[in-house]
Amino acid sequence: MRPTPGNRDRRVRPDRFAGTHGRGRPELTGDQGMAGQVNRWLRDWESMMDGYLPGRGDLMMAGMQTAETVLGRPPVAVLDLGGGPGTTARKLLRRWPSSQVSVLDIDPVLLALARAAARAAAIRRADLGTARWRMTAGGPYDLVLAVMALHYFPEGRIRQLYPEIRRLLRPGGLLLVAEPMPEQASPNRRQPPDGLGPWQRWWRALAGHPALAQPMRERERVLAGQKSTQFVADLDWHQAAAWDAGYAESWLAWRRDDHALLAARNT
Ligand SMILES: C[S@@+](CC[C@H](N)C(=O)[O-])C[C@H]1O[C@@H](n2cnc3c(N)ncnc32)[C@H](O)[C@@H]1O
């Protein structure tokens, strides 16, 4: 852990953004009769993500406990960056039913599922690839999470995201980042595995379902040209990025093998 920043005055009031909630807009055709199918997709998503991030349930528990300890209470407002189909938001709302939880993602299909998975959550569509995402991010927040979302971006963009996120945090607010952070890895890009992996199989199961026709078309348009960089760096790299971004302190909140949860507290 790096030392706290002594006399550096970083007590900047976070910006406030109006944000768009988009709640109540049905996006799955035939929404009403879809509950069983949607639940299966969400359950399969969880199994798939457990494969990519072993111990994900423990990580979430450690993250929520860390947030309660740091904040001294449940968070009033939480933002899940790259929150996908809302299964993390659903867990957050189960533990903190009074919290205002937002899910932000670029993917229209995943956000349509998030509307069903976490009905009380605000759904925000934005591209984290440029600083403009903050215009629809809402805030300020007590807690921001990025679970397996940062590795989509190049190294330089991830460095920029740390301060951009900090500006959305209340003073003393917390950022939690879950990523592969192997011990002493120099920053690099992992090669995606050849063939049809769990990710492609999950998407293949959704393809062609009439309820998803409209968000699938939208997805194709929005994600054209987007590709994960599969960026990987060690914990030190992420702590340095948090330090440079002005967080008061950062620490390892959880680890299993190569996967870690970094906690970074705003000044
Ligand atoms: C591996 S998934 C993790 C989803 C979720 N955090 C979870 O753990 O279930 C990565 C997520 O990042 C989102 N994402 C990728 N690129 C993005 C971008 N440019 N802007 C916003 N979200 C993005 C994807 O759509 C996807 O939902």
Q: What is the CATH number of the domain that holds 179?
A: 3.40.50.150
- Beta carbon of 163 within 6 Å of any ligand 1 atom: no
Q: Confirm whether 2 is domain-assigned.
A: no
pLDDT at 194: 65
Give the Å distance between the CA of 144 and the centre of ligand 1: 14
pLDDT in tens, 102-160: 999 999 999 999 999 999 999 999 999 999 999 999 999 999 999 999 999 999 999 99
- Beta carbon of 82 within 6 Å of any ligand 1 atom: yes
Give backbone dihedrals phi and psi of 102, rounded to 5 degrees, phi first: -115, 140
Cβ contact 175:248 at 8 Å: no
The residue whose C-alpha atom lies closest to atom 9 belonging to ligand 1 is 84
Range of the domain at 36: 31-265
On the CB side of 21, CA atoms within 13 Å amount to: 9
Write down the pTM of the prediction: 0.89
Give the Å distance between the CA of 110 and the centre of ligand 1: 9
Q: Confirm whether 15 is domain-assigned.
A: no
Cα torsion angle, 23, 214, 230, 130, sign:
negative
Share of the chain above pLDDT 70, in %: 87
pLDDT in tens, 199-228: 999 999 999 999 999 999 999 999 998 989
Cβ burial of 35 (10 Å; 0-12, 13-18, 19+) is exposed
Indicate the pLDDT class of residue 84, thresholds 50, 70 and 90: very high
Residue 175: beta bridge partners? 144, 264
d(CA 28, CA 109): 9
The total number of structural domains in the chain stands at 1
Residues 6+ positions from 78 with CB-CB distance below 8 Å: 92, 96, 99, 100, 101, 102, 141, 142, 143, 144, 145
Q: Confirm whether 95 is domain-assigned.
A: yes
Q: Confirm whether 68 is domain-assigned.
A: yes
Give the Å distance between the CA of 4 and the centre of ligand 1: 31
Q: Confirm whether 232 is domain-assigned.
A: yes
Q: Confirm whether 12 is domain-assigned.
A: no
Q: Confirm whether 21 is domain-assigned.
A: no
Q: Confirm whether 106 is domain-assigned.
A: yes
